[in-house]
Amino acid sequence: MRQRNIKNKQEIIDRCRRFIVEDPTGQKGRWSQRFLKPGDVYVEIGSGKGRFITQMAQRYPQHNFIAVERGPNVAIRTLEKAEATDASNLLVVAAHIDSVRDWFAEGEIAGLYLNFSDPWPKARHAKRRLTHRARLLQYRCIAAPGALLYFQTDDASFFAFSMEEFAAAGLTDVIASGRKEDILRQADDIFLLPETEYEGKARRLCRSVYAACVRLRPSDAGASCVTGRAEFRRTVRVVEKQEERV
């Protein structure tokens, strides 16, 4: 979808420099130092216009948040919201993230949000999906012990695919999954989260929203992670061979 040009974009950028991270790879292993106060770091990949992540920053001032959005004209809206709320615990990265392991060190993030990601519906584009098993292995590496992954979509096929990928990547500790309204009806408050712009649109169109929360790494501090690049590639190849047999 073509992004609308923002006339005063440079003015907003200049005004919001304190929220912008231009060199995410250079922050690897020291993201916490970029924030004014110490706190667990949570990341949203594909933050859109930033309604969700800025409200999370307001709701949980003891935590720190990073919004990742590849569309620069969309990320501008997150900057505006961050400025309006004076969100000192929020940073914005307007860039495409190919490998999270290039940006984050092992165990560096306390949680990950994937809200209404592009489902890439064509089969040949499956590896581009943010819940593809190869990407999930990367998320597991950068996750701190006990970290959770929150996933939401209004695409039933994408949801089914993602649940299969969670299992294939060894993410079998599923805290909650299914239609979001059913999860909330069961008095499970794990998805009492701010509404994203896309979720609001889906609700107005009476489209079902599907959600899942899975544990990326066990809570015990001794949980191991694939660290070396060669070892990581071997693990990915094993998982892909399992996929081929299926």
What are the residue numbers of the active site? 118
156-168 helix and 133-142 helix, angle to the nearest 10 degrees: 60
Q: Where does residue 17 rank: exposed (0-12), middle (13-18), buried (19+ CB within 10 A)?
A: exposed
Instruction: Quote the CA–CA distance of 58 and 35 in Å, as a whole number.
Output: 15
Determine the Cα angle at 179 with ends 118 and 67, to 5°. Answer: 40
Residues 6+ apart with CB under 8 A from 195: 51, 52, 203
Q: Which helix (H) or strand (E) holds 149?
A: strand 143-153
Instruction: Quote the CA–CA distance of 30 and 105 in Å, as a whole number.
Output: 8
3-state helix, strand, coil in the chain (%, to 5): 45, 20, 40
Instruction: Quote the CA–CA distance of 108 and 104 in Å, as a whole number.
Output: 6
| 3-class DSSP assignment, residue 85 | helix
Name the strands in the sheet holding 90-93, side by side, starting at the edge strand that comes first in the sequence.
Answer: 90-93, 64-68, 41-45, 109-115, 143-153, 210-215, 174-179
